[in-house]
Amino acid sequence: MKPGEVRILVLRSAGTNCDAETASAIAELGARAEVVHVNRFIRGRRSLEEFHGMVLPGGFSYGDRIRSGAVLAKLLSHRLRRELQRFVDEGRPILGICNGFQVLVESGLLPFGEVGQVKLALAKNASARFEARWVYLLKCSATPFTGKLPRVSRMPVANAEGRVVFPPGEEQSLLEELEESSQIVLRYCTREGEPARGDYPANPCGSFADIAGLASPEGTILGMMPHPERAFYRYMYPDWTRDSALGMGDGCAIFEGMLEHILKSQG
């Protein structure tokens, strides 16, 4: 299989607003990105089987009614449950960015890849406000998505509900389980790669254990609050003129890793 034969779904719904730039990033790497509304799958006009991978982009799906990502997550976990679980069980990669991360958590796809089994939540930021800023990220484990990512990367966040929280009384046990299975993929850190330790603004959302990105046990599902599509090119960075840097940004590695995984798994 060649990159041009790879088909990646960018799933949108009412309120999604990062689908175009996400599709553009995928297309820049030579793959075929198609933006499709979730209703076309629910009505049976399209099938997830048409695609080798899926991206749930950022935005405010269904206006973030109830909770961020909750409505779209329930549509997926109830109306497309069997098809979605088959997609996961076949090892086809799924990337959830910001609102997409929230959808993955609300649907149960993270942290254990089981549709309908919700184990944690993304709550309102500890700062009680919308956080839009560039952050440093420490790579804690390599997955198909993060294998090409440097140890310390830099990408922007833009969310009001990005605080990862665990069920009361289960924080330590769940944290140990996720760490042992290398599912905590990205953590907020300082410029030097030191732990943020919950300090603001290094950890802008107040996430438990500085968690910025989680993966499924197999690593084929990744949810992350930072936006890799907004750090795809170096000129997107706020300080790019200081060194006249050109070329690709850190976010490109996420999409490159996804594409390479698909090419290898498809032979």
Give the residue extent of every domain in the chain. Answer: 3-170+178-265
Rounded CA-CA distance 260/254 in Å is: 10
Yes or no: say if 185 and 153 are a contact pair by the CB < 8 Å rule: no
The set of residues, in sequence order, having a beta carbon less than 8 Å from that of 240 and lying 6+ positions away, is: 234
Rounded CA-CA distance 8/122 in Å is: 26
Q: Name the catalytic one among 98, 140, 189, 252.
A: 98
Domain 3-170+178-265 CATH superfamily: Class I glutamine amidotransferase (GATase) domain (3.40.50.880)
Residue 245: pLDDT over 80 = no
For residue range 163-190, what is the model confidence (pLDDT) as tens digits? 999 999 999 999 999 999 999 999 999 9
| Res 205: pLDDT | 98
Q: Name the catalytic one among 18, 106, 161, 227.
A: 227
* Burial tier of 222 (Cβ tally within 10 Å: 0-12, 13-18, 19+): buried
Q: Name the catalytic one among 18, 106, 229, 252.
A: 229
> Could you confirm whether 98 is annotated as catalytic?
yes
For residue range 29-85, what is the model confidence (pLDDT) as tens digits? 999 999 999 999 999 999 999 999 999 999 999 999 888 999 999 999 999 999 999
Q: What are 151's two structure tokens?
A: 């140890």
Yes or no: say if 121 and 70 are a contact pair by the CB < 8 Å rule: no
Q: How confident is the model at residue 155 (pLDDT cuts 50, 70, 90)?
A: very high
| Res 240: pLDDT | 87
Residue 255 CB neighbour total at 10 angstroms:
26
Residue 4 CB neighbour total at 10 angstroms:
9
User: Mean pLDDT, the chain, as a whole number?
Assistant: 95
